[in-house]
Amino acid sequence: MSRMRDDKKQDKRGIVIFTIGHSNNELQKLIDLMKSNDIELLIDIRFNPYSRFAPQFNKDDFKKAIQAAGIKYLFLGKELGGKPEDPEFYDPEGFVLYSR
């Protein structure tokens, strides 16, 4: 299928959103996967974007690597991450009540 036909198909679908988790994969593997799917923008929604087990995905280094690969990076962990600020959304033990 030609690139032109792919673009027309995408126009009919509108915006396409993919989800991906990094786990403890190699950074280049994740970048290659995004590039193979023509990802243009990565929105990082991790509340705490740091890991001692997978430091290649710590926010600052991760952002630089993503941008160097030609992919835009946007951090929205505060807005979309899983830890609300309002205490009303926590039970007495400190667990998030996602049903609220």
Query: What is the tally of structural domains in the chain?
Result: 1
Q: What are phi and psi of 63, to 5 degrees?
A: -60, -45
Q: Identify whether 34 is part of a domain.
A: yes
Mean pLDDT of the residues in the chain:
85
Q: Identify whether 95 is part of a domain.
A: no
Are the CB atoms for 66 and 31 separated by under 8 Å? yes
Q: Identify whether 31 is part of a domain.
A: yes
How far apart CA 49 and CA 62 sit, in angstroms, is 9
Are the CB atoms for 18 and 37 separated by under 8 Å? yes
Which pLDDT band, with edges at 50, 70 and 90, does 2 fall under? very low
Q: Identify whether 97 is part of a domain.
A: no
List, in order, residues 6 or more apart from 46 with CB less than 8 Å away.
Answer: 59, 77, 81
Which residue segment(s) compose the domain that 43 sits in? Answer: 3-89
Q: What is the pTM of this model?
A: 0.71
Lowest-confidence pick of 38-42, 73-77, 91-95: 91-95
- Higher-confidence residue of 4 and 61: namely 61
Greatest CA span in the chain, whole angstroms? 57
Q: Identify whether 96 is part of a domain.
A: no
> Residue 4: its pLDDT value, please?
43
